[in-house]
Amino acid sequence: MSDTANYSRIEPLRDGRLMEIRALRPDDKDELIAAVKRIGAQSLYRRFFGVKRDFTEKEVAFFLNIDFIHHVALVAVVDEGGKPTIIGGGRYVTIERGKAEVAFAVIDRYQGQGIGTALMRHLVTIARDAGLAELIAEVLPENLPMLKVFEKSGYRTNTKREARVIHVSLQLLQKSPGG
């Protein structure tokens, strides 16, 4: 397993509270399931293209068994009543040499605090260090926050619109104009 398995950075939310962005750990299982339960239906739909709250053991294992080489997963953690609590996460899964698919989810009441943008920034840093050239995602056309997160990454974003989905591709070797 690479050093990324121990990744940890502290940074402020937009409201000044601190969050930790760290590597997902195998013992995060219960916390991760609890976080998914707190995500609203529309957000779940935007992440999974369906309102999915129950996952099979196989799916849970996929989400948790991260090698931090081909599959990298970060979580955002804040203090809630003295307890470090997962409130969002982002991951990428390599699909071919140099190219990985990314996905994010932030609990609704924490959205708009810069967490998605921060998760993207950290994942991009890790991906570039790992030699990846491209991050892709399928995003619903109405999902403006996610499109904005791509736009704010500072890298060139190419989009291809289809009837029900936008294929987004982030070019990690090309800074966006003004980025």
Q: Which residues bind ligand COA (CB under 6 A)?
A: 43, 46-47, 103-106, 111-117, 137, 139, 143-146, 148-149
Q: Which is nearer to ligand COA, 115 or 130 (CB)?
A: 115
Q: Using CB atoms, what's the residue nearest to ligand COA?
A: 116
Min dist CB 157 to ligand COA, Å, is: 13
Min dist CB 143 to ligand COA, Å, is: 5
Min dist CB 10 to ligand COA, Å, is: 17
**Long-range pairs, 41-45, Cβ under 8 A, ≥24:** 43/105, 43/106, 43/107, 43/108, 43/111, 44/105, 45/140
Rounded-to-integer distance, Cα 40 and Cα 35, Å = 11
Q: Which is nearer to ligand COA, 86 or 115 (CB)?
A: 115
Pairing of strands 166-175, 155-161: antiparallel
